Structure 1
Amino acid sequence: MDTIKRIALALVIIGGINWGLIGLFQFDLVAAIFGGQDAALSRVIYTLVGIGALLCLPLLFAPADEDERESARGRNLTYSTEFAEENDPTEFKNDKEK
């Protein structure tokens, strides 16, 4: 399944670059390469990009980092602090009296 996600992501990137070119320069790269927007091959590419976007949709809701993934699996994470244990103040008082 990882391969399908990578292919889908590549298609979404291609679509994003194409939309960027359309927005900035009014140039449709897919249509230029494959014979216009109405050409069958261009329509296939547009359809594959759309399917790739749908397959990438779950990535939007996936946990972003390792801690979130582990907590999503139901693991109970314990975090320790960087602070040292506090000493008993009576120990210092006894040391001064000696």
Structure 2
Amino acid sequence: MKKLALILVIIGAINWLLIGLFQFDLVAAIFGGGSQEGTFARIIYTLVGIAGIISISFLFDSNDR
């Protein structure tokens, strides 16, 4: 579960990088036909958001190495 959450957070971070630098939304381009209104794009955004919330717990993980 942690690895899946981390992968989704990384995807979200890369997508935001592309939006910030090039005004290009990769998730919308792939899953929503170039629009953030697409159903699949909204599902991906939701999953990335949930993964971000789950990743908050990594800050308090006592198994740091």
Does the TM-score normalized on the shorter chain lie above 0.5? yes
Q: Which has the higher helix share?
A: 2
TM superposition shift of 1:60: 1.2
Structure number with higher relative contact order (C-alpha < 8 Å, ≥ 6 residues apart): 2
User: What count of residue pairs does the alignment treat as equivalent?
Assistant: 62
Give, in whole Å, the separation in 1 of the partners of 2:36 and 2:9.
Answer: 18
Superposition pairs of residues 9-28 of structure 1, within 5 angstroms: 9-28=6-25
Give, in whole Å, the separation in 2 of the partners of 1:60 and 1:38.
Answer: 32
Q: Which structure 2 residue ranges, 5 or more long, are not aligned?
A: none
Name the SS for the 1:14 alignment partner: helix
TM-score, normalising length: structure 1? 0.60
Name the SS for the 2:50 alignment partner: helix
Q: Cα RMSD between the aligned structures?
A: 0.9
Structure 1 runs (4+) deviating above 4 angstroms are none
Superposition pairs of residues 1-98 of structure 1, within 5 angstroms: 4-34=1-31, 35=33, 36-63=35-62, 64-65=64-65
TM-score, normalising length: structure 2? 0.89
